[in-house]
Structure 1
Amino acid sequence: MKKVFVLLLAVCFSVGIAQAQQATKSELHQRAESEMQKGSVAGARFSFIRAFEEYTRQGQLKIGMECATRGAALYYKDNYWKEAFDLLRRADAEIDARSKNAKEKAALHYIITKERLAMYIKLRKSDSAKDQLGLMETQVTYAADEELKNDLLYNKAVYHYSFGQNAQGNEVFKEMAGKLTASKQYDKVDEVYKTLIANARRSGNANMVAQSYSNYLAWKDSVNTLKHADEIGALKKQISDNEAKIADQASSLTARQAIIVGLCILAVALAAGLVLGGIVLMRFILLTRKQKKLINLANENNALKAKFISNISAQLNPTLHKLDAKIPEVKALLDFSEHIATLSDLENTIDQPVETADVQLTPFCNELVDAIKSKVNPGVVVKTNVPALSVNMNKEYVQHILQHLLANAAIYAPKDGTIWLEYKKRGAHVHQFLVSNTGEPIPEDKRDDVFKPFTEVKDFTEGDGLGLPICKQMAIKMKGDLDIDPEFTKGTRFVLLLHS
C-alpha cells in the first residue's frame, strides 16, 4: 500500500511540473507553437519573433533566445537567409545589452552561435561553419557548463559528417558517447544518436545518415553487452548475498534449496526478459523500415494521382467543348475541367519560382472593388483601405485570389452589410491583403476543409468547391499563405500573407 501511495505521489508531481512548464510559456510563445502544428510557417515565425522581443523585455533571456533561433530557422526554411542572420544579430545585441553575468552571457551566445553554425552547414560554407565552432568552444569555456560541453561535441560531429570528414566525426562522437556511456547514461546516448539520425534525414545528408546509423548499431551492440554484464554482475552479487544469508541464517537444507530454486527462477526470468527485449528491438527496426517504404509509396501515389487527374481533365476537354456551353450543366463541367487542370498544374509546379513586378496598389485595388459593386446584395457597402504604395508581387496570382475572395464576399455579405479590402505592411518584407465581410462566419470545424479539394459531393452548377483550394496553392507558390482570421468575429476575414 505504501509503494502505491509513493507511485501516485510521483505521478502527480510529474504532471504538476509539466503543467507548470506549459504555464511559463507566454501567450505569443504558445500561439507560435500552435501555428507550427497547423503548418503555418509565416504565422509561426511572426509569433516566435514577437515572443523573443517580449521575453527579452521581461528579462527571460534564455527562453527568449530559443524563440529567436526558432524564428531564424523558419526564416531560412523559406530561403530568407538575410532576415535570419539579421535576427540572430539582434539576439546577440540583446544578450550584450541585458546580461550582466559572464557565464550566463557565454551560455546565451552559445545558443545563437549554434543556430548560425546550422545555417552555414546548410549553406555548405565549411570555413564559416568552422569559425562558429571556434566561437562555441570559447563560449563553452567561459560558461563552464558540462551539458554545453557534450552539446559542443555533438555539434562538432555534425559538422564533420556534414562535410564528409567521417574519420574526425567518428572520433568526436566516440568521445561524447564514451563519456556518457562511462557514467551509464545509456538513454541519453541513445537519444543523441536518434537525434543525429533524424537531423541528417531532415537535411537530406545521406553520408551523415549512413555514418551515424552505422555507429549507432555498433554502439547499441556494445551497450547491450555492457548491460548484460551489469545485470549478470548484479545477479551474481544478489546470489552471493543470498547465499551468505542462507549460510548465516538458514538452519535447514530444505530452506537453502528453496532459496536457490527461487534465485534460479529469477535468473530464468531475467534471461527471458532479455530475449523479449531483443525481440521488441528487432520488431521496432523492422517496423521503421516498413514505415519508410510506406511513406515513399504514399508520395509516389500522390504524384500519380495528380498526373491521373490532370490526364482525365485533358482528355475530357475536347469532348466537352463540342457540347453547347450555354447549357448550365455543360458550362459547369467545362469550368470544373478547367479548375482541375489549374489545380493540378499548381501542385506539379509548386516549387518553381513565380515572376514578380512592381504594382501600384491604389488603382489595382480600386479596379477589383469596382468589378464587384454591381454584384453585391442591396445596401451592401464596399470599402477599401489601401495606401498609395508600390508593391513587388505576382500581379496575376494576387488578382485571381482577391477577385475570388471579393466575389465570395459579395455572395455572403447580407443586406445592408459591409465588405472591406485592406492592405497592411507587417515588416520589411512581409505584407498582407485582407478581405472581410459581415454576416455569418464560417464554422470553426469547417475552416480547414474550405481549402481542401473534393471534401464533399457538390452540384457543379452551384460551384465545384475548387476556388479556395486553387487560391491557397497560388499563395503557397508565391511563398506565402492564405488563411481565415480566427480572431475576426463580425463575419469572415481571409488573410493573404505575402513576402517581397
Structure 2
Amino acid sequence: MLAGFLYPVPVHSANNTSVHLAYLQILIDNNLPYAKNITADSIILWEKELEPQLEKDKKYSTLFHLRQLVSGAYAIRGDITIAVDKAHIMYEKAKEMDYDRGFTLSLRAIGDAYLSANMRQQAIDSYTEALNILNTSEDTDDLRIHIFPNLILTLLKIRETDRALVYLKQFEILFDKYPTTSTLFYVSICRAYYYVVINQPDKAQIYITEATKANSKKDYLYMRFILNYLYASYYKQSSQYNLALEKYGNLIKEINPVNSPNQHIQLNLQQAQLLSKIGQTDKACLIYQMTNVLQDSLDNLSYVRQINELRTIYQIDQMEIQNQQERNQTILWGILAVLSLSALITILIFHIRIENKRLRHSKEEQEKAQRHARNSIKTKSLFLSNMSHEIRTPLNALSGFSAILTDDSIDNETRQQCNDIIQQNSELLLNLINDVIDLSSLDMTKLVFNFKKCDAVVICRNVIDTVKKVKQTQADIHFVTTLESLPLLTDDSRLQQLLINLLINATKFTTEGSITLEIRKESDDTAIFSVTDTGCGIPLENQSRIFNRFEKLNEGAQGTGLGLSICQLIVEQIGGKIWIDPKYTAGARFVFTHPIKPDTAATKNEKPQ
C-alpha cells in the first residue's frame, strides 16, 4: 500500500514540470514578465525546478529566458540587489559559454533591474548594449522584439523622442516581418505613447484603440496593466484629470503591493503628483505618507530576503567544502594507483614507440619514393598537355597567313599585314613555348611579363583579324567599342594570348550565331574586356569549376582544359580579375578587368633589367 501511495509522486512532479515549462513558453512568446496565474514568486520557485531539465536537454535559449524572468521577478518584488546579482551571474555564464543570446538576455535583465530601481539612463545603456550584440549575430529578431518596447518607452519617459522614434521604426519593420498579436500590441503601445509625449492626443487615440483590440484577444494581466497606464498618461496629457485619476485608482487596486511593491509605489507617487497639480494637496500628502511607509516596509522586507539568501549560500558553501574534502581524498588514492599503473604502461609504450619509429621511417621513405614517381609522371603529362593546347592557334595562323603570302594576286598592303600577323604570332608562339616549359614544372611564378605602353584597341583589332583567319565555325566574330584608342601599360603578347584563348574557346562551342569582343572603360583606373557568344553556354552549377586546370565540361570538345586556367593566370599577373557573367543566359560571357594607371600594373612581375 505504501509503495502504491508513493509511486505517483515522481509522475506528478514530472507533470508539474511540463506544465511549468508550458507556462514559461507563454511568457517568452508574448514577452510577459508575469501573468494572471504566474506571479513573481512562482517564477522564482521555477528556477531550481526547471534549470536542471533545460540544461539536460541543452535548451540554452529557454534556460537564459528563464533566468532573465527570475531576475525580473526579484526586481518586481523589490529585491533589486538580488535581481542585479542574478543578472550578473547570467552574464558570467554566457561569457563562459561564449553565447550571444545569453549575453543579450543578461543585459536585458540588468536593464530591467535598473528600470525597477527608477535608474532609467542605466537601463537604456544596458538595452542599447544588448542591441549592439544582436547586430553581430544572426536569427536574433525575437530578442530585438523583446527589448525594443522597454527601450522605446524608457526613452520616451525621459523625453528623448528622436532617438525613440529611430528604434520605433526598426520595431515596426520587425512587426511587418513577424506580425504576431503580442508584437502588434507593443508596437501600438509604443506608437501611442510617442504621440502622447509629443502632445498629439488625436493620433495617440488611434493607436490606443489598436492596442486595446490586440489585447482583447488574450487579455493578459501585464498587457492590461500597460494599456491602463497608457490611458492614464493619455488622459493626463489631454487635461482629462478626473479620468486620469480614475485610471490610476484602478491600476493601484489591480496591483498587489505584496507581489509588485515597486509598481504599487510608483503608481501612488504619480497619482499624488497629479492631485498636487490640480490643487488637491491634502489627498496628495496623505498618499505620500502612505507611500513612504510602504517604501520603508519594502526595504525591510528586501533586507530580510537578502540576509536569508546569504545564509542559504553560506550553508551550501559549507556542504560543498565538506564534499570537496572527501573527493580530494578519493582522488589522491586514485592518483597513486594511476601513477603506479602509468609507470608500467610507460615502459611498454617506450618499447613500442621504438619499433613504431623504425617502421614509420621505413614507410616514409617508401611513400617519398612513390610521391616522387607520381610527380614525375604528372609533370610530364602536364608539359605535353600544355604544349598541345597552346601552340595550335599560333601555328594555324602561321600556316594560314604563310599560304596567303604565296598568292601572287594579293597587294603589297595585304602582304604587309600578313607579314605583321606572322611576326606577332611567331613572337606569341615563342612566348607560349616558354610558358609551357614553366607550366610543366608546376611553378607559375616563373612566368615573365614585359610591361610597356600599348593601344588596347589596336591589339583587339589584330586579335579579331587573327581569329577570323583560323576560326572553324560559321559564327560571325565582331569587335565592339566606343573608344578610338585606349593606352594601357601591359604585355601586348600576353594580352593577345589571353584574348585569343577566350575567342578560340568561344568558337569551339558556337557553331553559328555571333562572338563579340568588347572593350570599355569602367573608370579612370580600370578597363573591362568581355567575350560574348551565342553558343550552348555553361550551366550555372558548373561555372565555379571552369577555371580549374584540366577541367573540361564537355569531354568531346577539343583541348586539354588548360586554356581558361592560363587565362586566369595571365589576368591575375597583370593585376586584374576574370569571371563568367552568371546573368547572361543566351550563351556564355567571359569578363576580365585590366588596370589603366601605370602604378597598378607596373608593380606586377616586371621583366628584370
TM-score in same-fold range (> 0.5): no
TM, length-normalised to structure 1 = 0.36
Q: Which has the greater radius of gyration?
A: 2
